[in-house]
Amino acid sequence: MAEQQLMIDRSDPRRWQVTFDHPPLNLIDPGTIGEIAALVESLENDPEVRVVVFQSADPDFFLAHYDTGAPRAQTPTPPSPTGLPTWLDILARISEGPFVSLAKIRGRARGAGSEFVLACDMRFASLERAVLSQPEAALGLVAGGGPMHRLPYLTGRGRALEIMLTGQDYDAELAERYGYVNRAVPDADLDDLVDDMARRIASFDKATLIEVKGYVGEVSQPAHALLSPTSHAFWASAARPAARQRLATAVEMGLGKRSDLELHLGDRLGGLDREAHL
């Protein structure tokens, strides 16, 4: 039986706290996705919960990225509530659901981890510990979780293209300047900031929170019809020889392991051509 990856604290029924705890570096795999899907369904159906805070038990990794070694599901899945592929469905329901989601980011949130925090309503980052990126292009991949459609709302077109096309790591200070996160604060202040904000929002009328979030979403959320093709583009790009070669090289260098590569992915992927002799 697989170990539980999400620790859920419902001690305050209006304010849940979810902690990612999937050693060795909080990779996102089918088990992670299944647990997040079940959590989102619970959040959607609970009449009391107003706020959910996401955090990590690992100060070095919030959500590292998708586990490239995880097999793709071969059996058809039932239609999702939104009609989108499973990962996109989860992200859309977080963005549009009847609850307010806050990401408290310590450590690295790259690839699908970055896609997750982009789907949250607000993002708060540790100045000393948070790192965000979308490294897919450096691996020959097209990101499959819709960051191309979420980032421009936050950062503007030019900076979104910079983030997506360079695959660089963004520390919390630069991420805040770009609009990638709401605020970057000293690590010692992060818990109090997010907890105070979550407590304040959770004290308000739920119907009002949902209505305000919905109106803001009308002008800031990508249409589902735009999102779905990105999932197909990801899997098509992953099948290309260039992507397979780059991924194989990255795996040899430590991708998916607690390694120097994973700690400094943005820098190391910049030299992938030399490593792979492409």
Q: Tell me the C-alpha distance between 80 and 176, whole Å.
A: 33
- How far, in Å, are 22, 28, 37, 38, 89 from residue 33 at the CA level? 12, 7, 6, 9, 11
User: Residue holding tokens 């299944």?
Assistant: 34
Among the CATH numbers 3.40.50.280, 3.90.226.10, 3.40.50.720, 3.40.50.1980, which is that of 6-201+220-273? 3.90.226.10
For residue range 233-267, list pLDDT tens digits in order.
999 999 999 999 999 999 999 999 999 999 999 99
pLDDT of residue 35: 98
For residue range 54-99, list pLDDT tens digits in order.
999 999 999 999 998 887 665 557 789 999 999 999 999 999 999 9
Rounded to two decimals, the pTM is: 0.96
